[in-house]
Amino acid sequence: MEWKIEKARKLKPVYKDENQIGFGKFLTDHMLIMYYDREKGWYDPKIIKMSEIKLSPAALVFHYGQEIFEGMKAFLGNDGKIRLFRPRDNMNRFNKSARRMMIPEIDSEFVLEGLKKLLFLDKRWFPKKKGNALYIRPTIIATEPTLYLKPSDEYIFFIILAPSSGIYGLKELRLYVEDKYVRAAIGGTAEVKTGGNYAAAFYPSSLRKGYDAILWLDSREGNYLQEVGTMNIFFVEEGKRLITPELDGGVLPGITRDSIIKLARSKGYMVVEKRIPIHEVIEKTQNGIYTEAFGTGTAAIISPIKEIFYKGENYTFSFSSNLRNEFYEKLLNIQFGIEKEDFNWVETVE
Ligand SMILES: *Cc1c(COP(=O)(O)O)cnc(C)c1O
């Protein structure tokens, strides 16, 4: 198979002010698309102008939510080069999500080849400021028109691009520890990026007005920390150790999470992945043992956490250490090609 390119005849005007791009507000000129049916497998891969998709109202995705997505970023360096950050890890996770949701897997190498062509074609949409990026959203939806409850025999795969800044900016987050609702279940779909997980979090989030994000506890005992909003969470213990929830099936295995763990260890910091009961967080924050906390994710990058609200009380971090800033700078420098790394995380497009 080969990517067919049908260039848009007319290009859209690019955003005027890079400080106003927001997150996912503007879509670029082109998209990547490919189809699947049980007999043919994946077929007709092409890059076309950004356009609407026409579906039957009976398409399975509308009724039973059979869909998966990914979130990754590409960066334009001062040297004019486009860089992808750990794209193969995103593709592997995408295929892992596909297996869980009974969606046919894609050929990572082939899709990456198409993605690179797409990025090159829409290069004029790249923001330049450190912290901004071109956000990449690969998605697969079940399109077979039937109300019968079964995995679809037809799918559409697409990738769309949106210039984006970090979702929280530099804001220090206030968290609400959720002790009634859960984000997604262990043994369910908590570990994979599928739409229903995010739709199910809207309602609990709407109840916690005045807070920036929810600190989710595990679905079995309502005791162990999982994630914050749609980010993984880290605590800094005594300014020198990183503590983060282990991947217990209720946590999305973030690539930013993994990058921070590897960077921290390479710099000589100790990193502990373990089950973290909420009472331990409260105690260690109150006693000043946890000096900092932050959330990590591709969309959010690394967001500092100011305080957590639990059972009527606020607990505030002292910020007597500054590991968040250290990792934030390091990560962006790697992504923008300013600093070299030994992990082979960065892939140049041209
Ligand atoms: C995507 C996502 C993350 C972060 O993963 P990254 O690979 O770092 O972007 C964390 N939690 C949830 C629920 C997510 O969907």
Tens-digit pLDDT profile for residues 106-134: 999 999 999 999 999 999 999 999 889 99
> Is there a single domain that holds both residue 217 and residue 142?
no
> Is there a single domain that holds both residue 158 and residue 177?
no
Minimal-distance CA residue to ligand 1 atom 12: 230
Question: How many angstroms separate the alpha carbon of residue 44 from the centre of ligand 1?
Answer: 30
**Per-chain mean pLDDT for the chain:** 96
Coil, strand or helix: which one is 6? coil
> Is there a single domain that holds both residue 219 and residue 323?
yes
Q: How far is residue 325 from each of residues 102, 166, 243, 260, 293, measured CA to CA in Å?
A: 40, 15, 17, 12, 11
CA atoms within 13 A on the CB side of 236: 25
Q: What percent of the chain has pLDDT over 70?
A: 100
Q: Find out whether the beta carbon of 87 lies less than 6 Å from any atom of ligand 1.
A: no
Angle (deg, nearest 10), helices 255-266 and 87-100:
140
Which residue range(s) make up the domain with 282? 173-335
Q: Find out whether the beta carbon of 114 lies less than 6 Å from any atom of ligand 1.
A: no
- Kindly state the tokens that stand for 48: 């076309």
Pocket probe for ligand 1: among 216, 227, 231, the residue whose CB has the most ligand atoms within 8 Å is 231
Question: How many angstroms separate the alpha carbon of residue 232 from the centre of ligand 1?
Answer: 7
> Looking at the domain assignment, is residue 347 inside a domain?
no
Please identify, among 164, 186, 201, the residue that sits at the C-terminal boundary of a domain.
164
Report yes or no: 295 and 232 within 8 Å, Cβ to Cβ: yes
Per-residue pLDDT at 168: 77
Query: Mean pLDDT, to the nearest integer, of 284-290?
Result: 96
Question: How many angstroms separate the alpha carbon of residue 64 from the centre of ligand 1?
Answer: 23
Q: Where are the beta strands (DSSP E) in 86-221?
A: 133-142, 154-164, 173-177, 213-217
Q: What percent of the chain has pLDDT over 90?
A: 95
Please identify, among 164, 193, 209, the residue that sits at the C-terminal boundary of a domain.
164
| Residues in the chain, total | 350
> Is there a single domain that holds both residue 329 and residue 180?
yes
Model pTM greater than 0.85?
Answer: yes
Question: How many structural domains does the chain have?
Answer: 2
Query: Mean pLDDT, to the nearest integer, of 276-282?
Result: 98
DSSP state, residue 145: B
DSSP state, residue 132: B
